Amino acid sequence: MMKKILALMLSVSMIAGLAACGSKETEAPAAEAPAAEAPAETGGDDAEAEAPAAPSAEGGKHVFMFKSTGNKFGDLMYEGYKEYMEAKGYVTEYDSPAETTVAAQVQMLDELITQGVASIVISTNGDTGYDEIFQKAKDAGIPIVSIDSEASVDYRLAHINQAEVQDIGSYLVQAAVLITLGVDYPEDKTMEEVVAEQLGSYSGDEIVLGVLSAGIDTPVQNSWIAAMETELAKDMYKGKVSPELDKKYGNDDPVESTTQANAFVAENKVDCIISPTTVGIAAAGQVLKGANSEIKLTGLGLPSEMQSFMPNAAEDDAFASVCPYMMLWDVIHLGAVAGAAIDAALTNGWAGTDGETFTMAAFRDYAEEDYTVYTQGDGTFVLAGTPYIFYKGNMSEWISKL
């Protein structure tokens, strides 16, 4: 009975253009299509911009810092953040270093804090090396919220988590195994069910998965890799899929990611590459397609950047493309949730402590929604969304949006 209900909800969400891959995603469709027509309209909302500025916006501009420049994932998060913040009367700025390093972010933060910014949202390049600079921000009373890649719990109010870490790791492994076995994205069952069925009768060579990640120290990618390893430890994979992931690091740089993808091709040891970064997956798509490689690809990608390496229409043969299906979440919405958290901190004293709630006002097509802080380990988090699967059944609707 449970399964039937889940299957029904899944197909409803897919008609809506979103394919969910587990029980938690049934509420996702809030994020729907109309935004697809107006992706970049961030500056023209004069009526809303005239609303009285929040009192704390007087402190100066509100900074959104991504890991580095030239990354559309960061640009789209900022788009959502900026649009939300501007509607509330704040002035925002997008500052990211050219290099994806801790040192480059620290130097930039130092300059910004000295100038006197009002708040900081950041996706970090490493776990360590920020203490001194974050302390400087804290001393100046500048609230910090991290997004995508965590900042230390000692300095951030909370981390805005895109989707459950374990879900992302599990789904990526499940997708890679199914793709290796030539199985289309299952529309009426969970991927886990189909993996269990398929591997139950599988007697071929042990499947080997590769990972093309961002930096070796990047917190968010490392948390997903750890989640992939947890997934691979499940009984159903024993003797069928290697528990060892072959990991390479492209540092979220297109050139370095291309070099590492070429190394996978040259070594020819893996069946499928999982790239949990939009930069890595796009570079790998280009390399695998160019080399006419038998190695397949999945991971976290932007539909707009992956359209040449994926099926784009329901009638396409998914396996004629190097990446038959992949995942991500609504990046624009994610950025807006960070904006709502900062607004709550500045106007309501929201401090990111366990159980506290803030409201994200209606934004684009997203309904007003409350977010409640939860604790995991020694940090506090806000869960912004759920992973979406992009596959031949919905790619065409998402290419213009993300």
**Interaction pattern, residues 289-308, with ligand RAM; x per rule: CB under 6 A:** -----------x--------
**Interaction pattern, residues 217-236, with ligand RAM; x per rule: CB under 6 A:** ---x----------------
Strand partners for 159: 146, 381
Q: Which stretch binds ligand RAM (CB under 6 A): 29-37, 51-59, 277-285, 384-392?
A: 277-285
Q: Quick check: helix, strand or coil at residue 62?
A: strand
267, 231 in Cβ contact below 8 A? no
Q: Minimum CB separation from ligand RAM for residue 106, in Å?
A: 18
Other C-beta atoms closer than 10 Å to the C-beta of 216 total 12
Q: Which is nearer to ligand RAM, 278 or 293 (CB)?
A: 278
Q: Which is nearer to ligand RAM, 249 or 371 (CB)?
A: 249
Decide: residue 304, CB within 10 A, 0-12 exposed, 13-18 middle, 19+ buried.
middle
Of 13, 96, 190, 278, the residue at the interface with ligand RAM (CB under 6 A) is 278
Residue 355 makes CB contacts below 8 A (sequence gap 6+) with 372, 373, 374
Q: Which stretch binds ligand RAM (CB under 6 A): 274-282, 303-311, 317-325, 348-356?
A: 274-282
Q: Which is nearer to ligand RAM, 118 or 272 (CB)?
A: 272
Q: Minimum CB separation from ligand RAM for residue 76, in Å?
A: 9
Question: CA angle at residue 146 from 214 to 133, to 5 degrees?
Answer: 95
Decide: residue 30, CB within 10 A, 0-12 exposed, 13-18 middle, 19+ buried.
middle
Q: Which amino acid is at 180?
A: T
Residues in region 15-54 near ligand RAM by CB under 6 A: none
Q: Which stretch binds ligand RAM (CB under 6 A): 3-11, 106-114, 135-143, 275-283?
A: 275-283
CA distance 304 to 302: 5
Q: Minimum CB separation from ligand RAM for residue 223, in Å?
A: 10
Tell me how many residues contact ligand RAM (CB under 6 A). Answer: 12
Residues in region 116-175 near ligand RAM by CB under 6 A: 123, 148-149
Residue 336: enclosing H or E segment and its boundaries? helix 331-348
Q: Minimum CB separation from ligand RAM for residue 149, in Å?
A: 5
DSSP 316-334: S-GGGSS-S-EEE--HHHH
Residue 283: enclosing H or E segment and its boundaries? helix 278-290
Strand partners for 360: 369
Q: Minimum CB separation from ligand RAM for residue 105, in Å?
A: 13
Q: Which is nearer to ligand RAM, 68 or 174 (CB)?
A: 68
Q: Which is nearer to ligand RAM, 86 or 305 (CB)?
A: 305
Q: Which is nearer to ligand RAM, 300 or 340 (CB)?
A: 300
CA distance 110 to 105: 9
Residue number of the CB atom closest to ligand RAM = 73
Other C-beta atoms closer than 10 Å to the C-beta of 92 total 22
Q: Which stretch binds ligand RAM (CB under 6 A): 8-16, 134-142, 260-268, 271-279?
A: 271-279
Of 56, 152, 174, 277, the residue at the interface with ligand RAM (CB under 6 A) is 277
Q: What does each C-alpha distance from 329 to 32, 198, 222, 312 come to in angstroms?
A: 12, 27, 18, 18
Q: Does 279 bind ligand RAM (CB under 6 A)?
A: yes
Q: Minimum CB separation from ligand RAM for residue 174, in Å?
A: 17
Q: Which is nearer to ligand RAM, 56 or 275 (CB)?
A: 275
The tokens for 184 are 């289309």
Chain residues binding ligand RAM by CB under 6 A are 71, 73, 123, 148-149, 214, 220, 252, 277-279, 300
